Amino acid sequence: MSDKIDISRRAFIGVAGTAIGATAIAANLPSIGAPPQPNKPNIDSNSFTEEALKTDVLVIGSGIAGLFAAVKAHDAGAKVIMVSKGRLGSSGLTPFGKGVFSYDKNNPKMQPEEYLAKVADSAIGTNNPVFTRQLLEHSADRVAELKEWGFFDSPLCNLSFSKPMNERNIPLVERVMMTHLHKENGRVVGASGFSLNENKIINFSAKTIILCTGSGGFKPSGFPMCDLTHDGTIMAYNIGAKITGKEWNDGHPASAKNAGSSYDNWHGQVEEKPSTTTEDIHHDLGVDLNYQAYIKGGPVSMGPPGRNEEKTNSTNKIAGPYTPEAFHKGNSGPPQQPPQESGWRSLFSGGKRPEGPPNMQGESVGGSTAGMAIHKSEGLVPIDETGLSNIPGLWAAGDALGSYMSGGIYTQVGSSMAGSSVQGAIAGEAAAKASKTVDRIVIPKNKLAQTKADILAPLKRETGYSPAWVTQILQSVMIPNFVLYIKKERMMDAALAYVEELKEHHAPMLMASDRHHLRLAHETMNMLITAEMKLKASMMRTESRCSHYRLDFPDIDYKNWQAWINIHKDQNGEMIFEKQPFDKWPAYS
């Protein structure tokens, strides 16, 4: 069979995996013994080789957090390897982040104390001021380095990112999906994954590891994040790391026309060169648009009126999710950025805007980032200001770290790219320093054998479910606006029943015919665990605040909910949820 014939067959399977397609394909199946589908692997799962690589610091992920983590760990004297599911600077959300916040300490528009007070006000206490302050302290230095590397001279950040990596000869392992972290004697000692290029598993032995794996979603449409499936978070969760922030929601819409095209939804801004932003604090991009659609979209008689409805003096008539008064649109507020013709700036400006989202004009549809929380609000729980997790030797930075730099709402435009840079650099230095104080622990052979079996299992199954089909069911359950945007206990419980079914029955039967589908199978498992976390955390948080909106608990509960929710897997494999007071760090394990 030639490659070409193969393509059209696979493309057909992709289309047929939808609900409508499934009916059509069922009609063509033999009458007996049809589901689940037989697996027809076109690569030999027995031909996988294993490669062992050794380093002091392993950086997983090659976005802007990973770049700074690798560079700073190297400069602090450690041997570093970077491994990426994609390519340096062209995977994850980094290629699409065009604004980088830069705080001029010597000549600030806003003094640090005023800035921190205003962020805390917008975030309704959900931000961690230690990480917000880091942004003010270090963002300008990171921006200066990016400038030196040529980051602001081209929209293609692989070019600028390659400069510091090449100058330092930092080894880069691309197109390897990491699936496992290894823990021995209570500390992280390595990681494993498989290559997308060849039949190979790579086992990394490392003294310390920094997860710069970004956040993730349910492969939603209209936002360029379908490669992000919370891989780092789930690997870390599986070895006992604490995870936070799963109840918060990014609420970006997409355009009704070609909702699946992230390029068109963002007006081609990927082609723009990046630039810097300055102090400008908002309370933006939560669930308000989803709420509007929900209330107007049908005969909704139940539910309380929106929390802002009684504020008759306000220019903000939006009902539903609460916005602190100082951040109502139309109130004096901070000076606006000058209006731009297109792109992310127009989100935050009152100027002339092109048609359609993300500028909230034209006809919109929702859920373009479904499954993702607010930048920097979800991921590994830090136990200190360097982004160290509760697992010794394991750090996270950027969107993989639940630093709560902005809290459960967007506060500062450009802060995500800047925050990832700042946190990556700090984690890099800390992980390099720590790597000098520990001896290498060899990963036991039986553990590597088990890892290999886990990785290859979907290829070895004779029958099972396709990752695309399971993902489509998951999307149908999790993306509608009445599940995670406008939350209600009963509906989330119903969704959870689906998710648990998929996780317990279908995940163990996910199959793969090649390395691409093997990747999809592992991504799908990560998405299923994320969905369970999001539903359970959302049910636990019996209040509404920032981007978390409960129709059945519409008020902020200052008495019981001045707390984040941390999630971990206990010794019996149970998913455990705990409150973490806003002003406390969790304990080291």
Partner 1 sequence: MPINEIAGCIGCNTCVETCPTDVIQMDKEHKKAYIAYPEDCQICHLCRLYCPVDAISITPEKSIPVVVSWR
Interface with partner 1 by CB under 8 A: which residues? 3-4, 7, 10-11, 14-15, 17-18, 20, 86-87, 90-92, 95-96, 155-156, 158, 174-175, 196, 220-222, 224-227, 254, 256, 258-264, 268, 270-271, 290, 293-294, 297, 364-368, 370, 468, 472, 475-476, 479-481, 485, 516, 519-520
Phi-psi region of 495 (alpha: psi -120 to 50; beta: other; left: phi over 0): alpha
Determine the Cα–Cα distance for residues 78 and 61; give it in Å rounded to an integer.
18
Counting every residue written for the chain, the total comes to: 589
CA angle 181, 182, 183 (to 5 degrees): 125
- The answer to whether 467 and 512 have CB atoms below 8 angstroms apart is yes
Centre a 10 Å sphere on the Cβ of residue 453 and count the other Cβ atoms it contains.
Answer: 10
Nearest approach, Cβ of residue 83 and partner 1 (Å): 14
Q: Record the tokens describing residue 275, joined without a space.
A: 């630039």
User: Whose structure tokens read 């956040």?
Assistant: 215
- Of the pair 112, 260, the CB lying nearest partner 1 is at 260
Nearest approach, Cβ of residue 85 and partner 1 (Å): 8
Determine the Cα–Cα distance for residues 39 and 464; give it in Å rounded to an integer.
7
Report the interhelical angle of 3-16 vs 19-28 (nearest 10°). 110
Q: Are strands 99-101 and 49-60 parallel, antiparallel or unpaired?
A: unpaired
- The answer to whether 235 and 241 have CB atoms below 8 angstroms apart is no
Nearest approach, Cβ of residue 66 and partner 1 (Å): 14
DSSP letter assigned to residue 539: H
Nearest approach, Cβ of residue 27 and partner 1 (Å): 19
Give the alpha-carbon dihedral of 386, 392, 398, 404, to 10 degrees: -70
- The answer to whether 342 and 97 have CB atoms below 8 angstroms apart is no
CA atoms within 13 A on the CB side of 58: 31
- Of the pair 121, 174, the CB lying nearest partner 1 is at 174
- Of the pair 73, 93, the CB lying nearest partner 1 is at 93
Determine the Cα–Cα distance for residues 330 and 332; give it in Å rounded to an integer.
6
- The answer to whether 324 and 546 have CB atoms below 8 angstroms apart is no
Nearest approach, Cβ of residue 479 and partner 1 (Å): 5
Per residue, the 3-state secondary structure of 218-253, as one string, reads CCCCCCCCCCCECHHHHHHHHCCCCEECCCCCCCCC
Nearest approach, Cβ of residue 98 and partner 1 (Å): 13
Report the interhelical angle of 445-460 vs 515-540 (nearest 10°). 100
Nearest approach, Cβ of residue 290 and partner 1 (Å): 6
Nearest approach, Cβ of residue 401 and partner 1 (Å): 21
Which positions ≥6 away from 295 have C-beta within 8 Å? 306, 319, 320
Which among 59, 50, 52 is positioned nearest to 170, based on CA atoms? Answer: 59
- Of the pair 85, 182, the CB lying nearest partner 1 is at 85
Determine the Cα–Cα distance for residues 247 and 523; give it in Å rounded to an integer.
20
Determine the Cα–Cα distance for residues 153 and 563; give it in Å rounded to an integer.
42
Nearest approach, Cβ of residue 195 and partner 1 (Å): 11
- Of the pair 117, 159, the CB lying nearest partner 1 is at 159
Beta strands in 376-458 (DSSP E): 379-380, 394-396, 410-412
Nearest approach, Cβ of residue 92 and partner 1 (Å): 7
Nearest approach, Cβ of residue 412 and partner 1 (Å): 25
Whole-number CA gyration radius for the chain: 23
Which among 443, 286, 294, 273 is positioned nearest to 374, based on CA atoms? Answer: 286
Nearest approach, Cβ of residue 482 and partner 1 (Å): 9
Beta strands in 414-520 (DSSP E): 463-464
Determine the Cα–Cα distance for residues 21 and 520; give it in Å rounded to an integer.
19
- Of the pair 220, 379, the CB lying nearest partner 1 is at 220
Measured in degrees and rounded to the nearest 5, phi and psi for residue 164 equal -65, -30
Nearest approach, Cβ of residue 73 and partner 1 (Å): 24
Nearest approach, Cβ of residue 377 and partner 1 (Å): 19
- Of the pair 225, 434, the CB lying nearest partner 1 is at 225
Determine the Cα–Cα distance for residues 111 and 103; give it in Å rounded to an integer.
10
Tell me which amino acid residue 457 is.
A
Torsion sign (Cα): 138, 142, 145, 147: negative
Nearest approach, Cβ of residue 21 and partner 1 (Å): 8
- Of the pair 52, 256, the CB lying nearest partner 1 is at 256
